[in-house]
Amino acid sequence: MSPQGSEGSGGSLLSPSPLPPEGPHCGPADSCKAGSPVKPAPLEPDGDRPDSPKEILDLDSHNAAARRSASGFPYDPRTAPHPHMMPRPPYSTHPYHGAHYAPQRPHPHLMEALQRPPHLPFPPGQPRMALYGHPQASGHFQGMQVQQRALAPEHYLHPGQQAMCTGSPRSTGKTPSCRASCCPKIHALAHILHRRSPPNTAYSMAPQPFLHGLQVTVLSVLLLCWAGVCGGSPDPRHRDSLIQQEASQQTGGTVLLTEAERRLSTHLHKLKRQEVEGPQFPPAMHFFKARPFIQRSPVFKLLQKMPKGAALHLHDFSVVGVDWLVKNVTYRRHCYICFTPTQSVRFVFSATQPRPLPCCSSWVLLETLRAKVDNTSDLDHSLMQNLTLFTDDPAAAYPSQDVVWSRFEETFLAALGLVTHAPVFKDYFYEALRQFYMDNVMYLELRALLVKTYELDGRLHDRAWSLEAYRDVARQFVTEHPDFLGARIIFTVHRGLNLSEAEAVVEEAMQLQKKFPEVMAGFDMVGREDRGRPLWYFREALSLPAERGVTLPYFFHAGETDWEGRDVDENLLDALLFNTSRIGHGFALTRHPLAKELSRKRGVAVEVCPISNQVLKLVSDLRTHPAASLMSEGHPMVVSSDDPATFGATGLSYDFYEAFVGLGGLSAHLGTLKELAMNSIRYSSLSPQLKDKALALWQRKWDQFISENSQ
Ligand SMILES: O=c1[nH]cnc2c1ncn2[C@@H]1O[C@H](CO)[C@@H](O)[C@H]1O
């Protein structure tokens, strides 16, 4: 058999068209139309649904589904594959018309939340993630001791200001009233500001806003007023003072650098300036176009070598470069492929000819296929294209968010049959740890669906098996690489679930959390936020742990949208109300001042994934990414890479590059990078003891990096 489209140079692997009489084996007439990204919302009642690739890739399930679908339901959740495995999301564009979705109501807790001490508004029994507070700025924290964030009046009132008040260098002396009225007022205000500032402490691991927003405003107005009222032309020294103050507010703005670190910072700045002034500025381009420029960038090369700490926002099946999947996994024995009308592929490992899959052509053994095609590298290239979004012309390939998300979910479905084969599952995770380790990352937190894995003989493994596998592989990797710290898992489910499914899964999450406290970090809901159900819809399910007095830390995706005012736009506040430990993406945070303030005050870090947000079309030029402004005000944040394999990236360095060069611009310096790396440990789910260990390890690596690159 020769799949059309797989022959010839580099064309993408297409399903046979027109489809042969024996395939595709589709369910209900309209259930496998190519290209339609949405399905009607699943209706209750719920029932058992297949949720392993073996079940999804299984004719019996299909036949059963077809039989049950004859009942007249346009889409019956009892017969449908698990949402993660659906070729199209199992929810509609108008997902909330089901009886189980109560219309959005105002959040009565919210104002209460702001008025009470930070942890009180949250349900009892949902303890906040311990914030790491290092008692002394010593040992491995030496380099992290920072300047006093609260400035005394003499800091923001430059010594020269006294002189200026009596007349600027160019003063004509026309402001006699200044001395009498303006200066005392300014000093009085300055003293008030000083009193309101937090005490002079060594760097707190739970950073507080060093100046309250009001203080900053008053201070700025004060100094601008000074310049305008008290002098003819602003004093350059005052201008410098303002610039310095503003710079100190940014991420890393108060990190004290050693002499060697300053040298490297200056060098980095020079390199960055060359990129800013060069003909191509990668962060302004789509990542697929920018990648070759980034790969040549000396800044990027330094970032690759830099110890970046932890990657805290990653999805299970997009953490290993797709070339490894194709070159290694699809060359293993018993690997079958079929072709979907959506121009994608599915794989399965089976000792015997697998039963046909709905909406897919007949299964072909890849070994046989490879023997028949003229050019196996073209075939392999085509396979890779099905596992990634990467393309030379992203604008043409992905004209809208709908298109890119539909294709995005297809890449996960294409990988699913490969990565959930039990032996591959373990190898894949080991390879993920290796690739991140090679990129100088020392710890991962992986959002994992924990779908059933399968053996060649058809046996299935449950979620506990997957957690054990993650734990064992991580342990083995750490034994072999003692300077690596390991990984923890955030159990995730798709936000297309209905309420009773969500309740069942939260119950299971609580049990898994209890059974595997070492490896399981918590719980999250994934999938396209704009099309999924909002967190508030799941409130009864998400309240279960608190009601039972059980700990289930949340790490919610929230604000991964550029729509304002829709139901999902309240996910940010709801995530905070449900006491989320971090916020996945938080792209919309700058449009939610209250959520932003709460997240800052509580040290709930935003997991910023610049490349993901660009590829999934929330933003095109990364200089305008909202996290640029979060960064300039030192909002708690970490940088992560989300789905590097799908985006044609590896590890964390590409996203660090985009954050450092694009979001941070010329203002970001080595202190920014240092704080971002340390943040990744500070805001991780590790215990305080392990954070200490991680920071000590990171500091050793950092010192070595500085000594090797600061000459
Ligand atoms: O950026 C993201 N936002 C929301 N969901 C995501 C993102 N990246 C991946 N997934 C979800 O994670 C599942 C695999 O674990 C994918 O099916 C996708 O729905």
Domain, as residue range, for 226? 147-249
Residue 149, pLDDT above cutoff 60: no
Query: Does residue 612's CB lie within 6 angstroms of at least one atom of ligand 1?
Result: yes
Is residue 170 in a domain?
A: yes
Using alpha carbons, select from 630, 707, 662, 709 the residue that is nearest to residue 252: 630
pLDDT band for position 515 (50/70/90)? very high
Distance from Cα 402 to the centre of ligand 1, integer Å: 14
pLDDT band for position 711 (50/70/90)? confident
Instruction: Give the predicted TM-score (pTM) of the model.
Output: 0.76
Taking the CA atoms of 412, 427, 522 and 693 in sequence, report the sign of the dihedral they define: negative
Q: What is the pLDDT of residues 297-323, one digit of tens each?
A: 999 999 999 999 999 999 999 999 999
Q: Beta strand pairing status for 637-639 and 335-339?
A: unpaired
Cα radius of gyration rounded to whole Å, the chain: 27
Extract the tokens encoding 8: 């010839």
Is residue 599 in a domain?
A: no
Distance from Cα 198 to the centre of ligand 1, integer Å: 40
Phi (first) and psi of residue 261, to 5 degrees? -65, -40
Q: How far is CA 344 from CA 325, 338, 384, 612, in A?
A: 16, 9, 11, 21
Q: What is the ipTM of this complex?
A: 0.99
CA distance 700 to 689: 17
- What positions carry a catalytic annotation? 560, 585
Q: What is the pLDDT of residues 271-280, one digit of tens each?
A: 999 999 999 9
> What average pLDDT does range 135-161 have in this prediction?
33
Is residue 162 in a domain?
A: yes
Q: Are 524 and 447 in contact, with CB atoms under 8 Å apart?
A: yes
Query: Does residue 427's CB lie within 6 angstroms of at least one atom of ligand 1?
Result: no
Domain count, the chain: 1
Is residue 226 in a domain?
A: yes
Any idea which of 60-64, 378-382, 469-473, 615-619 has the lowest mean pLDDT?
60-64
Percent of the chain surpassing pLDDT 90? 67
Half-sphere exposure of 624 toward its Cβ, with a 13 Å CA cutoff?
10
What's the chain's average pLDDT? 77
Residue 504, pLDDT above cutoff 50: yes
Helix (H) or strand (E) holding 409: helix 401-419
Half-sphere exposure of 505 toward its Cβ, with a 13 Å CA cutoff?
27
Is residue 92 in a domain?
A: no
Q: Say which DSSP state 644 is in.
A: T
Q: DSSP states of 449-493 as a string?
A: --PPEE-TTS-EE-HHHHHHHHHHHHHHHHHH-TT--EEEEEEEE
The torsion region of residue 21 among left (phi > 0), alpha (psi -120 to 50) and beta comes to: alpha
Query: Does residue 559's CB lie within 6 angstroms of at least one atom of ligand 1?
Result: no
pLDDT at 48: 35
Atom 5 in ligand 1: residue holding the nearest Cα? 527
Using alpha carbons, select from 709, 626, 625, 635 the residue that is nearest to residue 675: 635
Half-sphere exposure of 625 toward its Cβ, with a 13 Å CA cutoff?
36
Q: Are 547 and 579 in contact, with CB atoms under 8 Å apart?
A: no
Residue 54, pLDDT above cutoff 90: no
Atom 6 in ligand 1: residue holding the nearest Cα? 527
Is residue 173 in a domain?
A: yes
Atom 19 in ligand 1: residue holding the nearest Cα? 527
Query: Does residue 526's CB lie within 6 angstroms of at least one atom of ligand 1?
Result: yes
Is residue 54 in a domain?
A: no
Is residue 184 in a domain?
A: yes
Extract the tokens encoding 558: 């929230």
> What average pLDDT does range 648-676 have in this prediction?
98
